């Protein structure tokens, strides 16, 4: 028997650890657990041929016949998290975040002249400003000379000028990062104005952060939420979900710069040429720099000698705020009691109540000289001054008079003298308010129309249209 030719003998390749147990992907690393498919067969050959006709290189990939011969669902769910049908106990507290896109007030309205396609020759960067609601004053001269905090990237410019999918995702990431210790949340959302590119979205999530680590009050003003608002050019209003959030029965409003766009006392001052002096006092009072009662007496003193019929003349220049009529009509249709609580003056408050269908009007009473039919520059001593404390008292007394729990009340205002009633009501909304008020109020909104307040009650645009049609 001839000896084998040593030149044709092949030496087996020495196995190496790298080739056998490692690879460049998870799948390659685990190929050792799968039988190799012969290189001279394709998938059709493997599936179509029988075990007897496959040839010497064929193989049976599953020699053990399955029993039963049918793949069935094991019922096991594989998840990174502890998945359960109902992971949260019945009655778990829920929070509602209403997210408004600020389409009328972009945070980054100015592009650098070097990068803007609309920049013209000689264009300069705008003067630095302080965002409304981020400091007690927006006067740059009163801000400490420290380097300003870097502005966040305007992500709405990248993902769209509305509450985008990425905006919602980022919000949920922010919320989930706040509780300590970490807990998985259940969330859902509704688009309140339109499904495509919504401006107002309501997000419900539970459970809320443990109050031992983060109270609801602190959550409302958390730095992470403030930064999220700046990045996406939105405003977030947080409320505890309950039947009283959706079903309120009493709403009270400030008048000047809330239900109307004017400051009445400033309009009166125009008649006698002291508008500048009065406006300066008004601005300081609304920012909380002056005691309201003292500032009111000081301003009223400047009106001495003004004809008593000035209020009739003012009616033609008073501008009712956008959305005020629609808001009041919708609330009346829902059965609300409505009131105006104004630091202004009674004649115009009563006129506005008639215009908007309000049930109550409370304001300050100016003393009139009956002989000359002019203002004396004093307040009627027998009538209380409608200051911050009196507004809160009126809110509570109106609620008690109508047997309405305070949790079913809502207040809306813009000045420092509104803060007490904003905190006392079940829902207090600072509407386009002064900087100090936005910082201290429980809720703030800076939209174009007061109709936005209705979304805080969970009403969609379709709901608001139905209410308007019912009123008509």
The pLDDT assigned to 400 comes to: 98
Divide the 472 residues of the chain into consecutive groups of 10 and give the mean pLDDT of each group: 54 52 46 51 58 52 56 56 58 92 66 49 60 63 63 79 93 87 84 93 91 91 92 95 96 96 86 78 75 85 88 91 96 97 95 97 95 92 95 98 97 95 97 91 95 97 90 58
Beta bridge partners of 251: 338, 410
Strand order in the sheet with 234-240: 186-191, 200-206, 95-101, 234-240
**Do 465 and 355 sit in the same domain of this protein?**
yes
> What confidence score (pLDDT) does residue 153 get?
74
Are 167 and 255 contained in the same domain?
no
Same domain for 403 and 447, yes or no, is: yes
Which are the catalytic amino acids?
Answer: 254, 256
* Residue 145 belongs to a domain: no
Residue 290: count of CB within 10 angstroms of its CB: 17
- Residue 35 in any domain: the answer is no
* pTM (global) more than 0.95: no
- What pLDDT does residue 90 have? 74
pLDDT at 32: 46
3-state secondary structure at position 409: strand
Domain assignment of residue 305, yes or no: yes
* Contact between 331 and 470 (Cβ < 8 Å): no
Q: Do 264 and 218 share a structural domain?
A: no
Alpha helices in 197-345 (DSSP H): 216-220, 223-232, 243-246, 264-272, 275-286, 292-301, 310-314, 324-333
Size of the chain in residues: 472
Q: Are residues 315 and 187 in the same domain?
A: no
Q: Which of 240, 261, 279 is where one domain is finished?
A: 240
Domain holding 170: CATH number?
3.30.70
Instruction: Give the domain extent around 394.
Output: 250-470
Q: Is residue 39 part of a domain?
A: no
Give the separation between CA 325 and CA 471, rounded to whole angstroms. Answer: 12
Is 180 inside a domain boundary? yes
Among the three residues 240, 273, 289, which one is the final residue of a domain in this structure?
240
> Residue 28's CB: how many other CB atoms inside 10 A?
10
Domain membership flag for residue 23: no
Residue 306 sits in the same domain as residue 234: no
Asked if the structure places residue 210 within a domain, the reply is yes
Here the CATH number for the domain that contains residue 318 is: 3.40.50.1000
Q: Are residues 182 and 263 in the same domain?
A: no
Into how many domains does the chain fold?
Answer: 2
**What is the pairing mode between strands 337-345 and 250-253?**
parallel
The verdict on 203 and 268 lying in the same domain is no
Do 283 and 227 fall within a single domain?
no
Torsion angle defined by CA atoms of residues 97, 98, 101 and 107, in that order, rounded to the nearest 10 degrees? -50
Residues 285 and 348 in one domain: yes
Residue 18: inside a domain: no
Q: What's residue 322's pLDDT?
A: 96
For residues 392 and 451, membership in a common domain is answered with yes
| 146 DSSP assignment | S
Give the pLDDT score at 198: 94
From 212, 240, 268, the end of a domain falls on: 240
**Helix (H) / strand (E) containing 159:** helix 156-159
Task: Report strand pairing: 186-191 vs 200-206.
Answer: antiparallel
Domain identity same for 277 and 376: yes
């Amino acid at each position: 028997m001839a000896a084998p030719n040593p030149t044709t003998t092949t030496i087996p390749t020495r196995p190496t650890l790298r080739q056998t147990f490692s690879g460049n992907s998870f799948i390659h690393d685990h190929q050792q657990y799968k039988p190799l498919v012969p290189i001279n067969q394709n998938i059709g050959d493997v599936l179509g041929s029988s075990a007897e006709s496959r040839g010497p290189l064929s193989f049976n990939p599953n020699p053990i016949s399955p029993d039963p011969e049918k793949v069935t669902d094991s019922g096991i769910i594989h998840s990174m998290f502890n998945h359960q049908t109902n992971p949260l106990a019945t009655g778990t507290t829920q929070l509602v975040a209403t997210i408004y896109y600020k389409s009328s007030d972009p945070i980054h309205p100015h592009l650098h002249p070097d990068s803007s396609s609309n920049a013209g020759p000689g264009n300069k960067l705008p003067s630095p400003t302080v965002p409304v609601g981020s400091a007690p004053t927006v006067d740059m001269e009163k801000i400490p000379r420290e380097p300003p905090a870097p502005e966040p990237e305007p992500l709405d410019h990248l993902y769209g000028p509305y509450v985008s999918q990425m905006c919602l995702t980022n919000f949920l990431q922010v919320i989930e990062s706040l509780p300590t210790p970490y807990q998985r949340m259940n969330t859902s959302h509704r688009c309140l104005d339109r499904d495509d590119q919504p401006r107002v979205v309501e997000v419900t999530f539970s459970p809320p952060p443990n109050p031992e680590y983060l109270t609801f009050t602190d959550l409302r003003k958390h730095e992470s939420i403030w930064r999220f608002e700046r990045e996406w050019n939105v405003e977030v209003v947080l409320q505890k979900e309950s039947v009283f959030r959706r079903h309120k029965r009493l709403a009270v409003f400030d008048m000047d710069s809330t239900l109307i766009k004017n400051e009445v006392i400033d309009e009166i001052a125009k008649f006698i040429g002291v508008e500048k002096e009065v406006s300066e006092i008004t601005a300081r009072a609304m920012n909380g720099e002056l005691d309201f009662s003292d500032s009111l007496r000081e301003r009223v003193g400047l009106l001495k000698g003004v004809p008593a019929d000035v209020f009739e003349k003012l009616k033609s220049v008073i501008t009712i705020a956008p959305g005020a009529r629609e808001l009041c009509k919708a609330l009346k249709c829902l059965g609300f009691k409505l009131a105006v609580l104004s630091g202004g003056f009674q004649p115009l408050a009563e006129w506005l109540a008639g215009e908007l269908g309000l049930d109550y009007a409370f304001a300050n009473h100016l003393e009139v000289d009956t002989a000359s039919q002019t203002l004396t520059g004093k307040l009627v001593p027998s009538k209380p001054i409608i200051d911050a404390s009196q507004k809160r008292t009126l809110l509570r007394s109106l609620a008690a008079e109508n047997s309405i729990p305070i949790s079913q009340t809502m207040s809306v205002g813009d000045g420092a003298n509104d803060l007490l009633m904003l905190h006392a009501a079940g829902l207090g909304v600072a509407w386009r308010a002064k900087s100090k008020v936005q910082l201290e109020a429980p809720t703030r909104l800076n939209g174009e129309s007061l109709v936005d307040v209705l979304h805080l009650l969970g009403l969609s645009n379709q709901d608001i249209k139905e209410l308007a049609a019912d009123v008509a």
